[in-house]
């Protein structure tokens, strides 16, 4: 269902701290014309943890509208929006899903509940409740480093039996999971990497794309990289991977999305403003981003 380069969109802010919807619409338009296959607003990179519920819902709606307008202007087919809908509160996650569906999103990206540390039974119950109370397709977001809970392959396989649980954003950092999940969940279950630096190996093992931080900054290159892997041209993909590698690394040299927003400021796409507790990246991180942009030829 979902494939290719899917930016985990940042959320631009104004100097006064509000969401900058004009900058966001322009940013979404650039992503569409640069070849991004889908868009994922209101995830970790979008600073969803510091958006109010009203802001969260408004960003999802703005993304759907801007993507549709940009696709029409570019004579492209509609660009799917995989809306961030996760919460450690099942009721809140369901409310996000219902809003996203009403706004026209194509799917919900739902993170494993953080902080609560549910058991595997709790994880299954959480996603089962969402899937049976809203028919918007669900992409599981498994990121143990942030949620402090890791969905097992067995639990994921049980959830994959539900008709609306269609894939996973896998940020476990374990490439072996791709093969294990492919065997357990089936080849139609869309496996999307959550780690740009592992996207080459991830796709070689059966993945079909990446929900990407780097695609915020280099959408055309990331789209070209994903197209090369989809065509089985791993020689071309390796060249692009080497070109993008320093950027993959540099964007995590300070708390995310600080370096990403700094990079977007450097190339004139938005003001590099974050919300506390995320602060601007330090001197060393900025120098790494500058060097990585030059290496990738992004300006």
Q: Is 262 part of the annotated catalytic residue set?
A: no
Q: What is the CA radius of gyration of the chain?
A: 18
103 CB neighbour count, 10 Å cutoff: 18
Those residues whose C-beta lies under 8 Å from the C-beta of residue 280, and which sit 6 or more positions away, are 258, 262, 272, 274
Q: Is 117 part of the annotated catalytic residue set?
A: no
Catalytic residue among 124, 141, 261, 262: 141
The whole-angstrom separation of Cα 123 and Cα 126 is 5
Catalytic residue among 124, 169, 261, 262: 169
The residue among 226, 241, 188 whose CA lies nearest residue 36 is 226
H or E stretch at 142? strand 138-142
The whole-angstrom separation of Cα 254 and Cα 277 is 12
Those residues whose C-beta lies under 8 Å from the C-beta of residue 168, and which sit 6 or more positions away, are 139, 140, 141, 142, 156, 181, 185, 189, 190, 191, 192
The whole-angstrom separation of Cα 212 and Cα 209 is 9
Task: Compute φ and ψ for 79, nearest 5 degrees.
Answer: -100, 115
Report the catalytic residues: 141, 169
């Amino acid at each position: 269902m979902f494939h290719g380069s899917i930016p985990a969109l940042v959320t631009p802010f104004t100097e006064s701290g509000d969401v900058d919807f004009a900058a966001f619409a322009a940013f979404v338009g650039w992503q569409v014309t640069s070849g991004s296959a889908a868009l994922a607003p209101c995830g970790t990179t979008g600073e969803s943890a510091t958006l109010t519920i009203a802001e969260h819902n408004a960003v999802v709606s703005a993304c759907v509208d801007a993507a549709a307008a940009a696709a029409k202007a570019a004579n492209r087919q509609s660009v799917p929006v995989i809306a961030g809908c996760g919460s450690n509160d099942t009721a809140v996650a369901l409310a996000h899903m219902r809003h996203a569906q009403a706004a026209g999103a194509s799917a919900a990206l739902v993170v494993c509940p953080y902080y609560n540390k549910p058991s595997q039974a709790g994880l299954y119950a959480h996603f089962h409740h969402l899937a049976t109370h809203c028919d918007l397709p669900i992409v599981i977001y498994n990121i143990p480093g942030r949620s402090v809970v890791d969905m097992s392959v067995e639990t994921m396989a049980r959830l994959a039996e539900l008709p609306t649980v269609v894939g996973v954003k896998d940020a476990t950092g374990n490439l072996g999971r791709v093969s294990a999940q492919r065997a357990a969940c089936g080849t139609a279950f869309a496996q999307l990497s959550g780690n740009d630096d592992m996207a080459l190996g991830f796709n070689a093992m059966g993945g079909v794309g990446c929900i990407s931080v780097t695609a915020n900054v280099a959408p055309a290159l990331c789209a070209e990289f994903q197209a090369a892997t989809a065509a089985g041209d791993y020689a071309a993909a390796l060249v692009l991977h080497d070109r993008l590698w320093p950027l993959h690394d540099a964007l995590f040299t300070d708390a995310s999305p600080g370096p990403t927003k700094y990079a977007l400021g450097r190339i004139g796409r938005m003001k590099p403003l974050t919300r506390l507790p995320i602060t601007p990246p330090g001197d060393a991180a900025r120098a790494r981003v500058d060097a990585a942009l030059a290496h990738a030829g992004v300006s």
